[in-house]
Structure 1
Amino acid sequence: MVHPKADIPVEFFDAQADYRRYVSDSLRKGKATIGSLPGVIVKSLQEQKIANWLWQHSVSFAYERQIAVEDDDGTVRHLHPDFYYPQTETVHEDFALNADGTSPFADYALHAEKKRQAYRRKEIDFFETSSPGQ
């Protein structure tokens, strides 16, 4: 599974953009169908690349491991960071953000900032990468 995989293979689409749109639509509907080498089903092609790279380099990780965080008002909510590295207790978010901080998805940039704040508030070691237009 080195290459992108979904219910309908990429070769059935007229253009790569059509395939990416299909994958994106599937994800919005809760149908994550992108496989990876370690056997983890991920939500984006970029996450697949990261999972495959981690697996190929023997890096231990958990995908979307649940973490409880407290908001400013004391409300507890659960985040699911893209990758969690248990050996260093580090969180890795791969945000679908453009270089200017915008996203093709509605309210996504605000959601990303709230996650950053929650990690800082709980003093969780984290880093982020970005993948425009996942």
Structure 2
Amino acid sequence: MARWAVLGAVALTTIATPAAAQTMTVQQFLDRVAAVKALGPAGLLSDDMTALKAEMAAVTRAYAADKQASAQAGKPISCAPEGAKIRQAEFMAAFEAIPAAQRGMSLKQAFYGIVAKRFPCPVAGGRPKS
């Protein structure tokens, strides 16, 4: 399972400029992850693994840029501290927990929601947003 940590590592350590809007849905992502896992060790070298890493890197770059811009505007999208990490297994569990009827949402939308839930911003009165 440690070899799958590469997705989480890429997702959480890639910082650059935001990419164009992503079109992969949560269901497409989960399907491609399953296909890569089915290949065993060879899956790590597959084109699908490369595409999955690129997709997560693009989503992460977009998140980093949007987080900074929203914080500067005084309306943060989440309050993840600098250097915060969410393990790949947590992301996968969260993606898999999305009901099938909602898995048509973009991977980006799901990613942002997972981070916002994990690192909510406090609101007046000291209670976090839900």
Q: TM-score, normalised by structure 2?
A: 0.24
- Which structure would you say has the larger RCO, counting Cα contacts within 8 Å and 6 or more residues apart? 2
Q: Higher helix fraction: Structure 1 or Structure 2? A: 2
Q: Higher strand fraction: Structure 1 or Structure 2? A: 1
Q: TM-score, normalised by structure 1?
A: 0.23
